[in-house]
Chain A
Amino acid sequence: MPDATLPNPSFSREVPGLQLAFDSVSLGALKKCPRFYQLNIIEGWAPKGEQADLFFGIVYHGALERYDHARTNGASHDDALRTAVRWAMIETWDAELKRPKLVEHNYKNRFTLVRTIVWYCDKFQDDPIKTIILANGKPAIELSYRLELDYRCHLSNEAFLHCGHLDKLGTFQDKTVIVDRKTTKHTLDERYYEQFSPDNQMSGYTFAGKIVYNTPIRGIIIDAAQVAVTFSRFDRRLIERTPSMLDEWHRDLGFWLTAAQQFARAQYWPMNDRACFGCTYRGICGKPPEVREQWLKVNFVRRVWNPLETRGDI
Chain B
Amino acid sequence: MTDTPLTEASINSLDELFRRDPLEMSDKDWNVVIDEMRKKSALWAKIDAEGKRKAPKAKPMETPVAVSTSDFD
Contacts and interface: CB of A to CB of B under 8 A. Distances in A.
B55 to A, nearest CB: 14
A134 B19 CA distance: 40
Interface in B35-62: 37-38, 40-41, 44, 48
B34 A118 contact: yes
A90 B22 contact: yes
Contacts of A98: 21
Interface in B1-50: 18-19, 21-23, 25, 27, 30-31, 33-34, 37-38, 40-41, 44, 48
Interface stretch (A36-44, A109-117, A137-145): A109-117
Contacts of A89: 18, 22, 25, 33
Contacts of B30: 82, 85-86
Contact size range, B: 10 to 19
Interface in A104-151: 110-111, 114-115, 118-119, 122
Nearest to B45: A231
A82 B34 contact: yes
Contacts of B37: 114-115, 118-119
B67 to A, nearest CB: 32
A82 B27 CA distance: 8
Given A82-B27, A231-B44, A111 B38 contact: no
A114 B48 contact: no
A217 to B, nearest CB: 33
A100 interface: yes
A110 B22 CA distance: 12
Nearest to A98: B21
Contacts of B40: 115
B41 A85 contact: no
B40 to A, nearest CB: 7
Contact size range, A: 20 to 34
B2 to A, nearest CB: 21
Interface in A75-99: 78, 81-82, 85-86, 89-90, 93, 95, 98-99
The residue in B25, B31, B40 that gathers the most chain A C-beta atoms within 10 A of its C-beta is B40
Contacts of A100: 18-19
A89 B32 CA distance: 14
A230 interface: yes
Nearest to A94: B21
Contacts of B48: 231
A82 B34 CA distance: 8
A297 to B, nearest CB: 34
Nearest to B37: A118
B46 to A, nearest CB: 11
Contact of A114 (B19, B33, B41, B44): B33
A85 B44 contact: no
A118 B42 CA distance: 12
B31 A82 contact: yes
Interface of B: 18-19, 21-23, 25, 27, 30-31, 33-34, 37-38, 40-41, 44, 48
Interface of A: 78, 81-82, 85-86, 89-90, 93, 95, 98-100, 110-111, 114-115, 118-119, 122, 230-231
> Can you list the 6 inter-chain pairs with the closest CB atoms, starting with the nearest?
A118-B37, A89-B22, A231-B44, A90-B22, A82-B30, A119-B41
Given A118-B41, A230-B44, 13 more contacts: A82-B31, A85-B30, A89-B33, A93-B21, A93-B22, A98-B21, A100-B19, A111-B18, A118-B37, A118-B38, A119-B37, A122-B41, A231-B48
